[in-house]
Structure 1
Amino acid sequence: MSKATTAQPASPLSRWWHQWRFHLNILLLLVPLGFMPKYFADASLFRGDSGLGERDIGTLQVGPWSLQLAELRDEAPRPDGPAGYMKNFNAALCDACIEPVKAVYLRIGKPRSLRTAGVIFFGTPYRLGATVPVPLRTQENAELWVTLEGWDGSVHQASIPLKTASPATVAWLKQQGGKP
């Protein structure tokens, strides 16, 4: 006995999928292309092809040495979980400073001693990076302090007003209104 089988009509979803699958695959290829300019800009920034950062602060003289300072991103500090709000800065030591400088520190507010000099920069002398905590109670007239420690034990400090170093951070602090 032979059984006659009749083909069931395809579901509407199945018909739609067979009709549009090619177009959806093309869309999956084109959407990432929209994000490529930002990717290449970030890659250029992190490689150093477009300078030390998005906003160059300038050269800062610290005792007998100098360094070039820049904000990594020209934006307000970003939240970093329990650590609070953080701001990234990059620096490059002068050619004559590479050999005698042991460490470079960065801090908002004047350090009381070398133990409280702030966060230490990391990386090569030509491209150092540091992530500085920005307390919510920071005054708008605060200063960004750079401390350089030499191999001979000497310590030199210099400061730059925060409004000069990072106008976006000062604007963010004004917006916060001194909230604890």
Structure 2
Amino acid sequence: MSKAVKPAPASRLGRWWLKWRFHINILLLLVPLGFMPKYFADASLFRGDSGLGERDIGTVQVGPWSVQLAEMRAEAPTPDGPAGYMKSFNAALCETCIEPVKAAYLRIGKPRSLRAAGVIFFGTPYRLSATLPIPERTQADAELWITLEGWDGSMHQASIPLRQASPATVAWLAQRGGK
């Protein structure tokens, strides 16, 4: 019996492929490893292992209650299609205010009423999230208002300067100028 001998590929590409296919496969395994540190950092951030967000704003006293506030990402607002530019914030209610607080809201500029309180925080009381629209005409001296609504119908508000809450957003607004 004779063994069938496989002829060498005739084309230049075929010879190249036979010579380098092992090395290319190793490269396909190693390239994703370069992205693993960012993946694990993002996973840790979203799980809450590395705190509420990339930049901790601090504790804000809202009436009798307090809220721990943080920027999800310490970067400029990101475009979100027709919705405009958005910025994500996270919050955690204090231990004593978990039961009496019904809802938490966030807004740029003072709310006129509870109906215009801004975007609502969602999630567990230990890690609330809100994605806030940033109007392009926002002034650099604007304030970020937090509204807490209690189950008893009470409403408490507090504000912090946008410069303190998100320096990256203020820098982004200054960069955009008067657009």
TM range (shorter): over 0.9
Structure 1 stretches of 5 or more lacking a match? 1-6
Residue 29 of structure 2 aligns with which residue? 29
- How far 1:154 sits from its partner (Å)? 0.2
Is the Cα contact below 8 Å between 2:91 and 2:127 reproduced in 1? yes
Distance 1:40 1:9, change over 3 A: closer
The answer to whether residue 175 in structure 2 is matched with residue 175 in structure 1 is: yes
User: TM-score scaled to structure 2, two decimals?
Assistant: 0.95
- How far 1:157 sits from its partner (Å)? 0.2
- How far 1:8 sits from its partner (Å)? 8.0
Q: Which amino acid letter does the alignment assign opposite residue 40 of structure 2?
A: F
Can you list the C-alpha shifts for 1:58-93, whole angstroms capped at 9, x where unaligned?
Answer: 000000000100000000000000000000000000
Residue 63 of structure 2 aligns with which residue? 63
Is the Cα contact below 8 Å between 1:138 and 1:178 reproduced in 2? no
CA distance in 2, matches of 1:121, 1:11: 62
User: TM-score scaled to structure 1, two decimals?
Assistant: 0.95
4+ long deviations beyond 3 Å: none
Q: Which amino acid letter does the alignment assign opposite residue 102 of structure 2?
A: K
Residue 130 of structure 2 aligns with which residue? 130
Is the Cα contact below 8 Å between 1:55 and 1:74 reproduced in 2? yes
CA distance in 2, matches of 1:84, 1:127: 25
SS of the equivalent of 1:25 reads: helix
CA distance in 2, matches of 1:173, 1:9: 61
Distance 1:17 1:153, change over 3 A: same
Aligned-pair RMSD on alpha carbons? 0.9
Is the Cα contact below 8 Å between 2:142 and 2:161 reproduced in 1? yes
- How far 1:16 sits from its partner (Å)? 0.3
CA distance in 2, matches of 1:66, 1:9: 73
1:9-158 matches, within 5 Å, as 10-158=10-158
SS of the equivalent of 1:168 reads: helix
Can you list the C-alpha shifts for 1:8-31, whole angstroms capped at 9, x where unaligned?
Answer: 852100000000000000000000
CA distance in 1, matches of 2:82, 2:129: 21
Can you list the C-alpha shifts for 1:23-57, whole angstroms capped at 9, x where unaligned?
Answer: 00000000000000000000000000000000000
More deviation, 41-50/9-18: 9-18
